[in-house]
A and B are shown apart, each in its own frame.
Chain A
Amino acid sequence: MLDQAFDALKKLDYGADLKPLEAIDAAIVASQKDAALQKDLETRLLAVLKSDAPDDAKGYVCRKLMIVGTPASVAALDELLPQEKYSHMARYALERIPAKEAAAALRDSLTKVNGPLKIGVIASLGARRDADSVAALIAQLSDSDEQIVRAAATALGSIATVDAAKALAGVKPTGVAKSAVVDAQLACAEAILAAGNKAEALAIYKSFAGGDQPKHIKLAGTRGMLACAGKKD
């Protein structure tokens, strides 16, 4: 059954019945307790990914590598990151594979991709909350493209370290990056306060509590200051 499923997968294109592929899903469930089966599945999936199978088939492979992929899948997925039609599905797998190699591949690709693809990679690093990527993401805050700045700020807000907060405080965002940079700083303040560092958190909140900030941002700053003081608003 599994052989037939992979034969069907190699030809998978939009409009084809997915029923013949159900054996792959069953094998994925079984592979949780069978390391050899997991390895076999991953090897078969990677063979399809590296073949001239239709794009739909490769997308399906990435969906399954999200579940069973290991460091052994990273190199093949990494090759797809700079390719416009595959980049997202490569991240679909890489973002969720719990291995430092997957994070490293995403991080290293920041020098190989631009525009929307770079935004996607930045978003995936943020979703992984990859602390090893903070420096690389901080570097993106000085990009001339405000969409890149926006993405990097959001990712740094997800990772929410003191270093991220300090870097964000030095940004003078424009256009679409503005709300993301503010939001990221507030997210950092929440994490920093939760970790017990009241002074650092208070400094961030204070910077938003006054001035000509929009009302909801002032409110966030003021509420944060109250939280630092151990008071509820």
Chain B
Amino acid sequence: MGRKPLSQLGSTRRDFIKAGSAALATPYFVSSSIFAKDDKPAPSDRLVVAGIGLGNMGSGDQGGFLNRSDVQYVAVCDVRKGPREAAKGKVDKKYGNKDCKDYVDFREILARDDIDVVHIATPDHWHAIQVIEACRHGKDVYCQKPESRTIREGKLMVDTARRYARVVSGGSQRVLEDYKKQVEPAWAGELGPIKSINVNVGPLSTICNLPAEDLPPDIDWEMWLGPAPWAPYNSKRCSGGFNTKGNTWRSYVDYSGGGMTDWGAHHFGGATFAVDVRELQPEQVIFHNDKDGKWVEMKYANGIAVTHNRPKTGNMVIEGTPGEKREAKPVPTYKGGKNIYGDFIECVKTREKPFRDIELAVNTVILSHLATIAYRLERTLKWDSAKQEFTGDAEANRFLDTARREPWQI
């Protein structure tokens, strides 16, 4: 456990907050420079952070937070012993002590009142449960992409974040950092009125039917599966590698949307940013099956289309209006620091919405989900974003969610 200095002084950071006259709207982060040493904020001024899911992506996220002087990193959680111990080791090494607590069950972290922020990088089938539960416990959350595994999950994540006025950021740093070639001319108005942008990404996820392997002693298999259908342990089933063709959980429908959501979260995020439809959801998902193959066109009410795998069209290719220009708009960017972690932490302090605010992130990943459903049914769909359902389409609405294995629930 960290943060002893203030309690030794007979006070706590929360006492300061409680005494603050600005009351409810103030951020948890308060200034108390009297406790600072050198240029570093005093422990009392640091945001108290914990990590849930510390494999490939979680480890990187942990570094992004642990290296900040305004963060006090106090706890890690992973159902696998190796990543859990490695993550604790990094924290203990950083602070020169053994204070970092390690957990197998994320609920123990969320129950701790001293933790302000959690970062989540578990497999996708856990995201919604953990984000929602974190918000219910008053935590601010940084959640890896793709944020939701089903459409219903996304809606509930946004609703819960808003209910408690939590700062919840999605996790794709690429949205701002990797697509400047598309974003800058589009926002500068150089492409004229935009008609469409194309994203090439895949594949869809499939059912996992890998054989049983001997269960190693260093993983809590029931907690790894969590809300997913029971299945025997297989090292590929739970591998956090980046392949989406069968060697990792990212390939399989019970845990992920496949490449369609995994890289889709980046590409669709960049696409919707470039053509400025991040705050919207499409109203029509048009399924095409022509001589060049199957592809999907998602049309927004403003006439802009985001297409998926459009034949003879490269990834992130924008169709503008040649010869025309539009008024330039300033390109939104991170609010603090130079990366997505700095943006999130700054927003935790100021209570602003981060660049990858959960609603924008959900509006991104829903494109992957909508396209997937159109491909699975091989037909055109009409989407009602207000009702979060397909209009007059009971068959398509079956795909909005899947039942969770007991006792998990959203």
Residue positions of A touching B, CB distance < 8 A: 12, 14-18, 29, 32, 56, 59-60, 63, 66-67, 85, 87-89, 91-92, 94-98, 116-117, 119-120, 122-124, 126-127, 147, 151, 154-155, 176, 179-180, 182-183, 186-187, 190, 214-220, 222-223, 233
Contacts and interface: CB of A to CB of B under 8 A. Distances in A.
A89 B404 CA distance: 9
Given A91-B403, A92-B402, A183-B136, A216 B164 contact: yes
B24 A219 contact: yes
B349 to A, nearest CB: 15
A216 B168 CA distance: 14
A155 B407 CA distance: 13
Contacts of A216: 137-138, 164-166
Given A29-B377, A116-B407, A120-B406, A60 B136 contact: no
Contacts of B379: 32
Interface stretch (B192-200, B226-234, B319-327): B226-234
Given A154-B409, A183-B136, A123 B209 contact: no
Contacts of B113: 214
B247 interface: no
Given A92-B403, A123-B409, 6 more contacts: A67-B395, A89-B229, A123-B404, A147-B407, A183-B160, A187-B163
B165 A219 contact: yes
Given A32-B395, A98-B394, A98-B398, A220 B164 contact: yes
Interface string B193-218: 00000000000001101111000000
A222 B409 contact: no
B328 to A, nearest CB: 29
B184 interface: no
Contacts of A60: 207
23 contacts: A12-B209, A14-B211, A15-B211, A16-B209, A18-B207, A29-B376, A32-B379, A95-B402, A98-B394, A98-B398, A119-B406, A119-B407, A127-B152, A127-B410, A151-B409, A154-B409, A154-B410, A155-B409, A179-B136, A187-B159, A190-B159, A215-B17, A216-B166
Contacts of B402: 66, 92, 95-96
A55 to B, nearest CB: 9
Contacts of B211: 14-15
A32 B377 contact: yes
A89 B398 CA distance: 15
How would you classify the secondary structure of chain B's contact residues: helix, strand, loop or mixed? Answer: loop
Contacts of B403: 88, 91-92, 94-96, 120, 123-124, 127
B397 interface: yes
A218 B164 CA distance: 9
Contact of A67 (B107, B229, B398): B398
Contacts of A183: 136, 160, 163
A97 B378 CA distance: 20
A180 B107 CA distance: 13
Contacts of B24: 215, 218-219, 222
Contacts, number: 124
A29 B159 CA distance: 33
Interface of B: 17, 24-25, 107, 113, 133, 136-138, 152, 159-160, 163-166, 206-207, 209-212, 229-232, 376-379, 394-395, 397-399, 401-410
B136 A180 contact: yes
Nearest to B209: A18
A149 to B, nearest CB: 12
A120 B136 CA distance: 20
Q: Among B24, B211, B404, B409, find the residue whose CB has the most chain A CB atoms closer than 10 A.
A: B409
A3 B231 CA distance: 27
Contact of B207 (A63, A95, A151, A190): A63
B406 A66 contact: no
Nearest to A16: B209
Contacts of B231: 14
A19 B15 CA distance: 62
Given A32-B377, A220-B164, A117 B398 contact: no
B154 to A, nearest CB: 14
Contact of B165 (A63, A66, A190, A220): A220
A176 B229 CA distance: 24
Nearest to B136: A179
Contacts of A122: 409
A66 to B, nearest CB: 6
Contacts of A29: 376-378
Nearest to A155: B409
A17 B206 CA distance: 12
B133 to A, nearest CB: 8
Given A179-B136, A187-B159, A87 B406 contact: yes
B406 to A, nearest CB: 3
Contacts of A179: 133, 136-137
A57 to B, nearest CB: 10
A223 B165 contact: yes
B164 to A, nearest CB: 4
Contacts of A176: 107
Nearest to A209: B24
B386 to A, nearest CB: 11
A183 to B, nearest CB: 5
A222 B23 CA distance: 11
